[in-house]
A and B are shown apart, each in its own frame.
Chain A
Amino acid sequence: GQQLNQSPQSMFIQEGEDVSMNCTSSSIFNTWLWYKQDPGEGPVLLIALYKAGELTSNGRLTAQFGITRKDSFLNISASIPSDVGIYFCAGWNSGNTPLVFGKGTRLSVIA
């Protein structure tokens, strides 16, 4: 099936630093989603993207739908301790197929 390559796999950053992560695919997607999972909980939707080139913000988070439609990016500005967790990208192409999820980026913030 389709696969999403999410990178980096994990990252350790200092509080206050900016964070960038990305998700790439060999296939075109028509929807890109970004989720965050806190330890021991289910993922929660952060941002949804529906058009190539779209740039959407949610507080300190900004995500972009790549113009090739094969990638998406998530940036977090001025990280804080509560940003700790696993960030998942998800994509959808077409038809009655479920979302495809990346393997996640585990973010650790050092105070």
Chain B
Amino acid sequence: DGGITQSPKYLFRKEGQNVTLSCEQNLNHDAMYWYRQDPGQGLRLIYYSQIVNDFQKGDIAEGYSVSREKKESFPLTVTSAQKNPTAFYLCASSPRTGRAGENIQYFGAGTRLSVL
């Protein structure tokens, strides 16, 4: 089936530890996105990538890092510098970023990260 796969569904992080969330898509989309969702805060953009080997910071990039070495993969690392990492993380992809009709985003099922 075509779609976006996020793993794991649940993740626990110890203090001072880096953790990496996986996002894979087989939709052949150029653009991929990472969002953080906190209760009542909506979707806040962390990073996005419009093409392989390129990415841009979103509204809340501090404490996070990403890479885009392959078109189908856009992993997110939550570093120890992110002091409040507990949240629901959503990955999305779209055919492109800046063209009407082609910038519709399709979402994965999310990863819930908790701090031990």
Question: Which residues from chain A sit less than 8 Å from chain B, CB to CB?
Answer: 1, 6, 9, 30-31, 33, 35, 40-45, 48, 50, 88, 90, 92, 94-99, 101-104
**Measured between alpha carbons, how far is A20 from B86 in the docked complex, in Å?**
32
**Interface residue? B16 (CB, 8 A):** no
Q: Do A40 and B110 contact each other (CB < 8 Å), given the known contacts A1-B59, A98-B45?
A: yes
**Measured between alpha carbons, how far is A43 from B105 in the docked complex, in Å?**
9
Across the interface, do B41 and A103 meet the contact criterion of CB distance under 8 Å? Answer: yes
Across the interface, do B98 and A97 meet the contact criterion of CB distance under 8 Å? Answer: yes
- Tell me the smallest distance from the CB of A3 to a CB of chain B, in Å: 10
Closest chain B residue to A102 by CB distance? B42
30 A-B residue pairs with Cβ-Cβ distance under 8 Å, sorted by A, are A9-B40, A31-B101, A31-B103, A33-B104, A35-B107, A41-B109, A41-B110, A42-B4, A42-B92, A42-B109, A43-B90, A43-B107, A44-B107, A45-B104, A48-B101, A50-B101, A88-B43, A90-B105, A92-B103, A95-B98, A96-B97, A98-B45, A98-B58, A98-B97, A99-B105, A101-B42, A102-B42, A103-B41, A103-B42, A104-B42
The SS class assigned to the A binding surface is: loop
Residues from chain B with a CB closer than 8 A to the CB of A45 are: 104, 106
Across the interface, do A97 and B100 meet the contact criterion of CB distance under 8 Å? Answer: no
Residues from chain B with a CB closer than 8 A to the CB of A98 are: 31, 33, 45, 48, 58, 97, 103, 105
Closest chain A residue to B44 by CB distance? A101
Across the interface, do A92 and B100 meet the contact criterion of CB distance under 8 Å? Answer: yes
Residues from chain A with a CB closer than 8 A to the CB of B106 are: 45
Residues from chain B with a CB closer than 8 A to the CB of A92 are: 100, 103
**Interface residue? B108 (CB, 8 A):** yes
Across the interface, do B40 and A94 meet the contact criterion of CB distance under 8 Å? Answer: no
**Measured between alpha carbons, how far is A48 from B43 in the docked complex, in Å?**
18
Q: Do A31 and B97 contact each other (CB < 8 Å), given the known contacts A42-B109, A44-B107, A88-B43?
A: no
Picked from A1, A33, A41, A101, the residue with its CB within 8 Å of the CB of B43 is: A101
Residues from chain A with a CB closer than 8 A to the CB of B59 are: 1
Closest chain B residue to A50 by CB distance? B100
